[in-house]
Chains A and B, each alone.
Chain A
Amino acid sequence: MSNEHKTKPGDETAAVYWRENVKLVCGLLTIWFAVSFGAGILFVEALNNIQLGGFKLGFWFAQQGSIFVFVALIFVYAARMRVIEKRFGVSEE
């Protein structure tokens, strides 16, 4: 963020809103990375030593688990943003 242009009234809260959004996005993307690139690729052999029903855990993350988590991440983001938007009074609803 550069400060070379003049701040208008209201910018303070706009900046705070944006920071909260970016923080949330970073948190969710960490999980996104952990389940796919982490569990499904980088640490797949180690996790394959753990059995989940008839699945090796690493293989399950790579072919099923990561996809379920992806779906959940998007809905969590949508729900959290609704709350944040209401709080800042910028919701369109």
Chain B
Amino acid sequence: MDTQTLTYIFVGLSFALYIGIAIWSRAGSTSEFYVAGGHVHPVANGMATAADWMSAASFISMAGIIAFAGYDASVYLMGWTGGYVLLALLLAPYLRKFGQFTVPDFIGERYYSKLARIVAVVCLIVISFTYIAGQMRGVGVVFSRFLELPIEWGVVIGMGIVFFYAVLGGMKGITYTQVAQYCVLIFAYLVPAVFISILITGNPVPQLGLGAAVADGSGISVLAKLDATLVDLGFSAFTEAKKTKIDIFAITLALMVGTAGLPHVIVRFFTVPRVSDARKSAGYALVFIALLYTTAPAVGAFARLNFIDSVNEKSYAAAPAWVKTWEEIGLITWVDKNQDGVIQYAAGAPFEGRAAYTGDTGLHGERLVSNAPTTNENEIIVDRDIMVLANPEIANLPGWVVALVAAGGVAAALSTAAGLLLVISASISHDLLKKTFRPKITERGELMAARVSAAAAIVVAGYLGVNPPGFVAQVVALAFGLAASSLFPAILMGIFFKDMNREGAIAGMVSGLVFTLGYIVYFKSPWFGAVNSADFWLFGISPEGIGAVGMVVNFAAAIGVARFTKATPLSVRNLVDNIRMPKAFPR
């Protein structure tokens, strides 16, 4: 069977599995729809959290980012895992004890204010939609690459599947499909990684392979060889920093705190039976996440080494088949600047701007571009996203591995999209309708409203996936920055500072949000003509890391305002006492 047929079979089978689970786990009540009835086993919840968390970006792009950024990519590795420590130690157990359905629920009750609840809903919706547009796009990209469908069709099919199990099953359906999706995606990630690790170092464990010697008899370690090779070609060393220390610090902090403040992650801890399960479950979630996140640096380093070995100073005519396959869809471009028919790889862009193909082919059969060539020696440009997707081909793995990777990529994108859709729909039906504007709505009515808003959110997300707003790809940082500067401080102070009152929390959330949003939009959008470079940044902190400063702004504004406004009422102090204890003291 050819790879194409295998891919259809693998992706088709995984879809059948997800739909089967959705039918088996339909939600019958709002509690099942919002938090799966609170009966999810901590290990299952850990897996679901991991699938929820690891998006198309983690699955497809992360190893590629590491391959090209080296040490600088550590911000993502530490940032996207360290947040779980904050979650487990500072938020999850208490939110589970509080025991309602949504993040705005907690903020609304703890700060005894409908306004605080609405501010939280606004933060949640901005954060979640920023995130989800990228997921739908991810589904589309995987479909178009592996099934050769137009991206639009990929998005529509993805929407259909998510619609089916998110609208029907709510959190209950999502949880169990996410467990299945985790299994699919981690298997799909590890199989090629193990093969490649054996190929390069002879060690089957990628985490150890990264620190092992290259299996060419030279005795040099993988990282030392990579450092030497890159410096030779004019790049900076793989294991050295290129960004400034303060920027790396701020980005890591913003990503960690942002992770802990993301509503679709927090809400997963509302689904376990007990407070102690919430802690354990965060631990399991991080184990499942770490499995992929500690493999990614190995995949990245191997891929870079492999890539250089297979293309640099090799004649284009004799280059491996995958170079031409990816060249065909425009993810690899080669310009024979010195007319020798040999590919030279070095630092710098091979030509100005994005590749503009003329439609003609050159002397050696390469696709020609009309861009002006640069003066450096580099002749080839490669899209970092292909590092994971092309890995099986680079390592000559059988067709079923390629098919598996396709199914894994789709699973990663769908599971994250579903989790995001659920928090959006719950915040509309529960926080806006039931708790704010239509308190008399019946249980059936609320469940119906939840389903309708989930459906509407899917349509909006699908639209954003097909027509991504110009700079959306660049603003994933926005989701983390906003979560770090708005929701996280409000929840943290709600648990740990009894004196934090309504006025303080609202002032904090609004100022953190406005500051962070303003900074990112100022530098990232085309509207202000601002130059996005270190010379103009506040303290030298890039928009990716500004959420860390936004968090400080939030804390400062909240504490300042709380000092000069009315103290927290006694009933709320009692509520805080209550959520701090897993169970009331025996009298």
Contact = CB atoms under 8 A, between A and B. Distances in A.
A29 to B, nearest CB: 7
Interface string A57-68: 001101110111
Contact of A9 (B249, B496, B580, B587): B587
A5, A17, A52: residue with the most chain B Cβ atoms closer than 10 Å: A5
A85 B297 contact: no
| Residue among A10, A13, A59, A75 facing the most chain B CB atoms (10 A cut-off) | A59
Contacts of A44: 71, 241
B294 A64 contact: yes
Contact of A59 (B213, B239, B279): B239
B290 interface: yes
A40 B74 contact: yes
B286 A74 contact: yes
Contacts of A90: 581-585
A25 B582 contact: no
A85 B582 contact: yes
Contact of A41 (B248, B280, B498): B248
Contact of B294 (A13, A21, A52, A67): A67
A62 B71 contact: yes
Interface in B198-237: 207, 210-213, 221-224
B274 interface: yes
Contact of A91 (B78, B276, B279): B276
A1 to B, nearest CB: 8
B89 interface: yes
Nearest to B251: A41
Interface in A1-29: 1-2, 4-5, 9-10, 13-14, 17-18, 21-22, 25, 28-29
A18 B497 CA distance: 12
Contacts of B84: 70, 74
Contacts, number: 151
A82 B276 contact: yes
Given A29-B85, A32-B85, A78-B88, A59 B71 contact: yes
Q: For this complex, into which size category does the number of interface residues on chain A fall?
A: 35 or more
Given A70-B84, A70-B85, A75 B283 contact: yes
Contacts of B365: none
Contacts of A56: 223, 239
B90 interface: yes
Nearest to A33: B82
Interface residues of B, number: 59
A77 B85 CA distance: 10
Contacts of B212: 53-54
Contacts of B438: none
Contacts of B282: 74
B279 A36 contact: no
A67 B73 CA distance: 14
Contacts of A10: 585, 587
B207 A64 contact: yes
Contacts of A85: 276, 582-583
Contact of A67 (B81, B89, B223, B253): B81
20 contacts: A13-B585, A14-B581, A25-B89, A32-B82, A36-B78, A41-B248, A53-B211, A53-B212, A54-B222, A59-B71, A63-B71, A63-B297, A66-B82, A67-B77, A73-B85, A75-B280, A77-B89, A81-B93, A91-B582, A92-B582
Rank and list the top 10 A-B pairs by shortest CB-CB distance, nearest first: A54-B221, A62-B74, A74-B283, A54-B211, A78-B279, A53-B211, A63-B297, A74-B88, A59-B239, A10-B585
Interface of B: 66, 71, 73-74, 77-78, 81-82, 84-85, 88-90, 93, 207, 210-213, 221-224, 239, 241, 245, 248-249, 252-253, 256, 274-276, 279-280, 282-283, 286-287, 290, 293-294, 297, 496, 498-499, 567, 570, 573, 577, 580-587
Interface of A: 1-2, 4-5, 9-10, 13-14, 17-18, 21-22, 25, 28-29, 32, 36-37, 40-42, 44, 48, 52-56, 59-60, 62-64, 66-68, 70-71, 73-75, 77-78, 81-82, 85, 88-93
